Amino acid sequence: MSRIGLLQKPWPEAFEAVVAKVVAPGSEPLALFTSVGQSQKALDRFLGGAVAGKGALEFHTREIVIQRTAAQTGCEYEWGIHSKLFAAKAELSDAQVRSTFDGHADDGNWDAADAAVIATVDALLANKKLSDAEFARLAAHFDTAQILEIVQLISFYHGVALITGAIALPSEPGMARFPA
């Protein structure tokens, strides 16, 4: 059970407007949104930091960044959602999904561009910066806009891990769990 509970229906008007934007018709919002949504200001800031919609990155790359960041930050909540709902659409194999959890950039599951992404997530989370060689590896495959989006995604999903960890948000029902 989440430490701060979940916003309940009937939704406040401002939250209802958010639900209309971020939730598929006929679906319920994720617990992450109903938790953070208990403070409209916090929700507005959260959504303002999100890198939502079509950006500079292909969906495949975006999902690698999200899943690796979630795994490396211990965020089973987010890793489970993205592994279950988005991995197939992103054309990630079962071995690649597993590798986002406990593999590494050069474990044979990734092409050169994907390996550079995995290495970048790992380096930024471990060191909070990239060496010249690490940046060059990433820049060999991605342009400036893509690099900035990769870094923003890592930052945002690291923040999601902090939120879910602070409030002890349990995994969504039916979502993937970290491998044993």
List the chain domain ranges.
Answer: 13-49, 59-161
Could you tell me which residues come within 8 angstroms of residue 23 by beta carbon, excluding any fewer than 6 positions away?
29, 33
Q: CA 41 to CA 1: how far, in whole Å?
A: 23
Containing 1, the helix (H) or strand (E) segment is none
Query: To which CATH superfamily is domain 59-161 assigned?
Result: AhpD-like (1.20.1290.10)
Q: CA 119 to CA 106: how far, in whole Å?
A: 8
Q: CA 1 to CA 42: how far, in whole Å?
A: 20
List per-residue pLDDT tens for the chain, 180 residues long: 789 989 999 999 999 999 998 898 989 999 999 999 999 999 999 998 886 777 899 999 999 999 999 999 999 999 999 999 999 999 999 999 999 999 999 999 999 999 999 999 999 999 999 999 999 999 999 999 999 999 999 999 999 999 999 999 999 999 999 999
Does the predicted model carry a pTM greater than 0.85? yes
